[in-house]
Amino acid sequence: RIVASVVGLATALVSGRIMDAGVDWRIVFFIAGVFGALSAIAFGRIRLAEVVEGDQPRVSTLEFFRDTMHILRRNPGYRWFTASVFVYGFGNIMASTIYPIYQVDRFAITNTQVANLQNIAAVATIAGFFFWGPFLDRRGPLATVLVAVVVICTMPIVYMVAPRVEYLALAAAAGGVASSGIELGYLNTTLAFAEPGRAAQYQALHSSFFGVRGTIAPHCAIPLFNALGARRAFFVSFMVMLAGVGLQLVSMRDFRRQTAETRRKQDPVAPV
């Protein structure tokens, strides 16, 4: 993740400036596509050790789907966590859809300025990984997600009140720091909730809701922007994100309760 952020920083540093210097954006997109294809080829060359199949019976896709969806019923903590991810992310994606429109309409932002914001976000992301790793080890993945989401909630507020484009650097830094915490926190929270042997199902459920919110939210953002204007739309997005923070708190409560019950079953006489 750090390597990806470093490369992203260098790419933004170069691409914004060469487009402002007159290079057609289609050429930049073509070069990016070539590198994307090369990365897919490199990924396909990764070799893994042979996996020895266990004695678990094979299940159909439909059975896998039904059992995976049943997780939301039998695991209340993960149900609230999934709801939190969906609701917070919905608000964040709505705001993110409007950010570039607002940057152009309000500040007439240049390609170089866009690149500068990307660079700030990339540097903050790199620094964030060095902060969130130890934080996650000390406080756990759910607390990591909670704090990271609270930090990223500041982004629409900054956009609402920013008088000049330079102030958007604060939002870029907050988004960069928070994104690294969310990346680490989401993965580890999913693993923390997962029952033994079901990590793939939990991750599949998590990624599925990612896709659903990512498909719907942008289509809600533009009507919201047209109806209320950018600043009011940012406020609505902020309130939706804040609701996601509340759901994360509920998830943390249920996770502590589930953990206490598991310990009690394993050792009835041990203090909880």
* CA angle centred on 122, ends 140 and 22, rounded to 5°: 160
Q: Give the pLDDT score at 180.
A: 92
* Cβ atoms 202, 78 nearer than 8 A: yes
The helix (H) or strand (E) run that includes residue 140 is: none
Contact 174/147 with Cβ under 8 angstroms?
no
Helices 230-266 and 141-152, interaxial angle, to 10°? 170
First to last CA, the chain: 37
The DSSP annotation for 2-23 comes to: HHHHHHHHHHHHHHHHHHHTT-
Quote the pLDDT of residue 19.
84
Tell me the pLDDT of the chain (272 aa) as tens digits: 778 878 888 888 788 788 888 888 899 899 999 999 999 999 999 888 776 555 556 667 788 788 888 888 888 889 999 999 999 999 999 999 999 999 999 999 988 898 899 889 989 999 999 999 999 999 999 999 999 999 999 999 999 999 999 999 999 999 999 999 999 999 899 888 888 888 888 888 888 988 899 999 999 999 999 999 999 999 999 999 999 999 999 999 888 887 777 666 665 555 55
Give me 257's structure tokens.
Answer: 């309760």
CA 191/CA 193 separation, integer angstroms: 5
CA dihedral 171, 173, 174, 175 (to 10 degrees): 80
Give the C-alpha separation, 88 to 150, whole Å. 10
**CA torsion 237→242→244→246, rounded to 10°?**
-160
**Cα–Cα distances in Å, from 243 out to 53, 66, 92, 103, 240?**
43, 28, 11, 26, 5
pLDDT of residue 139: 92
**Residue corresponding to tokens 């992301």:** 125
